[in-house]
Amino acid sequence: MDKLRALQYFVAAAEAGSFSGAARHLEVSVPAVGKMINALERAMGTTLVERNSRGLVVTADGRAYLDACRPLLEQLEAADAVISRAGARPKGTLVVGAPGFVIQHWLVPAMPAFFASYPDIQVDFRVLTRLADAEPRGADVTLVLGWPLATGLVHRVLARTRVFASASPEYWAMHGFPKHPRDLQRHNCLCMRNPEGTVLDLWEFAKAGRQESVAVKGNLVSDDRNVIVDAALAGMGVARLMSLTLKEHTRDGRLVSALLDWEMAHAPPINLFYRPGFRRNPRVRPFVDFLGEHFGSLAGEKVTGAAAPAEPPWYRVGTGRASAAKR
């Protein structure tokens, strides 16, 4: 047993009042926290924490042990900080996996500021869309959109996104501007196929407590976001696109978003993943901290306290259509 790590996990769990809270703070998995604390209890020969309906409760023995250990850990953290500041700058290659448009629109604009602080780190971007591809591609840090399952990985929601129904001015002039979500049923809608294989043909909206679900139809489907964007720019139809993807094109007037008084539902969150313990890697830690600090301003979305929206019922349908899962 790693006694120091076990003490750190115990203190974090006691302060958070739960194993899950400690796991988020330490950026490890919940089972890892439970395993280390159980090992510490066996080594001590006593029960340090108990779980009940109100959460985690520190026992009398646990409280005494906590009071004795906390000052020692604080002194150790202070000593580590002194040595870290005095040590060499992080250097070497960091492999970052992410979808191509995330790299293009969110990550690349951040790199000058990152490299100014860490000039000896080389970032190797690798394009991927599924979390399952991260390990085979050798990614140290992975960013993906949606609601991927990640057993044993540290997971942070970096930001929530927004999506809009958008088309070229020429398309709207020819086919009419929708005034209500149901009007989209008479439009040619360009649909994405997500990494799970589901065609996203169910466009859902919310406004002042009202909800509208529209099963859209169109003559083009693609799993490549750039294809959908190019088709919308060419005046082929209406696309469901994220705000940052749209920023350049709406600024130039080449795409115009409709139904702005409605909120399109199920905008995918932006997720960060890495393996437990990797944050202690001298290259991973500064990059993760940098993303957490700067991602909101880069993405144009609120990050503070961001929580993943609920997974849509159609998300894992697989080879099928989102509209079929709604029935």
Q: Find the domain containing 46 and state its range.
A: 3-86
Quickly state the pLDDT bin for 87 (edges 50, 70, 90): low
Above 50 in pLDDT, residue 195? Answer: yes
Q: What percent of the chain has pLDDT over 70?
A: 87
pLDDT of residue 303: 41
In the chain, the number of structural domains is: 3
Number of Cβ atoms within 10 Å of the Cβ of 176: 11
Q: What phi and psi, each to the nearest 5 degrees, are found at residue 189?
A: -105, 130
Above 70 in pLDDT, residue 323? Answer: yes
Same domain, residue pair 175 and 28: no
Same domain, residue pair 180 and 263: yes
pLDDT digits (tens, 9 = 90+) for 140-166: 899 988 888 766 778 888 877 889 999
pLDDT of residue 22: 83
Same domain, residue pair 194 and 240: yes
pLDDT of residue 237: 97
The letter for the amino acid at 100 is: G
pLDDT digits (tens, 9 = 90+) for 136-147: 788 889 998 888
What's the pTM value of the predicted model, to 2 decimals? 0.66
Lowest mean pLDDT among 6-10, 225-229, 236-240, 273-277: 273-277
Same domain, residue pair 105 and 239: no
Q: At which residue do the structure tokens 């880069």 appear?
A: 298
Above 70 in pLDDT, residue 209? Answer: yes
Please report whether residue 30 resides in a domain. yes
pLDDT of residue 116: 92
Q: Tell me the average pLDDT of the chain.
A: 84
pLDDT of residue 184: 97
pLDDT of residue 308: 58
Please report whether residue 136 resides in a domain. yes
pLDDT of residue 151: 64
Same domain, residue pair 247 and 168: yes
Same domain, residue pair 117 and 153: yes
Bigger pLDDT: 278 or 5?
5
Residue partners of 110: CB distance under 8 A and separation at least 6: 290, 291, 294, 295, 298
Same domain, residue pair 261 and 276: no
Q: Are 300 and 244 in contact (CB under 8 A)?
A: yes
The letter for the amino acid at 295 is: F
**Sequence-distant contacts of 36-41: CB under 8 A, at least 24 apart:** 36/1, 36/2, 36/5, 36/6, 36/9, 36/10, 37/6, 37/9, 37/10, 37/13, 39/1, 39/6, 40/1, 40/3, 40/6, 40/7, 40/9, 40/10
pLDDT of residue 188: 98
Above 70 in pLDDT, residue 317? Answer: no
Looking at residue 260, which CATH number applies to its domain?
Answer: 3.40.190.290
Above 90 in pLDDT, residue 234? Answer: yes
pLDDT of residue 9: 87
pLDDT of residue 206: 93
Distance of CA 168 to the CA centre of its chain: 30
